Amino acid sequence: MRLKDKVAIITGGSRGIGYATADKFLAEGAKVILAASTQESADKAVAQLREKYPHSKIMGISPNLAKYKEVEDAFVIATAQFGCVDILVNNAGITKDNLMMKITEEDYDAVMDTNVKGTFMTIKHMYRAFLKQRGGRIINMSSVTGLSGNAGQTNYAASKAAIVGLTKSVAKELAARNVTCNAIAPGFI
């Protein structure tokens, strides 16, 4: 129970790495606020996790992570139920793979909005709270593609590389206040 009574927000928590993270955090005693792209997918993931952990505290939200006001509103409602947030996991991410010459502006913007702007907006919202409580953990999901590149994924690679730079800068800003900010760069899952 290494996370007993800790409160975690996990974006992209309804499937894949985010869902597995929520599962593990609940197993370790955390209270989880699971953010997904739709309320339906958030509710479905919450229901599945409640079956496995019937006495856990978990809720689902679905803000557009690229819109600060939506992030703020959803996080305020969620944290009102659980108190302060101790851990922010920025896992939400999308791909719109294609050769660079075929990537549309809309596909580029969608990837950057979700992957980079979403990460930025959630950290921006939690920044003051972490400073005030003099502690917190931020975990950002990058990708090996952001470190090495990959043909057919220029927009995705750029977004994941941006997360590495964002993480390093935020880490330097918050380190003196006992707030860590780290990035994980998984390979294909």
Could you list the active site residues?
156
The answer to whether 42 and 35 have CB atoms below 8 angstroms apart is yes
Residue 133 CA to residue 129 CA, distance in Å, equals 6
Distance of CA 167 to the CA centre of its chain: 12
* Cβ contact 90:138 at 8 Å: yes
Of 61, 54, 66, the closest CA to residue 26 belongs to: 54
Q: Residue 84 phi/psi, 5° resolution?
A: -70, 155
R_g (Cα) of the chain, nearest Å: 16
Contacts of 42 (CB under 8 A, 6+ apart): 13, 14, 34, 35, 36, 60, 61, 62
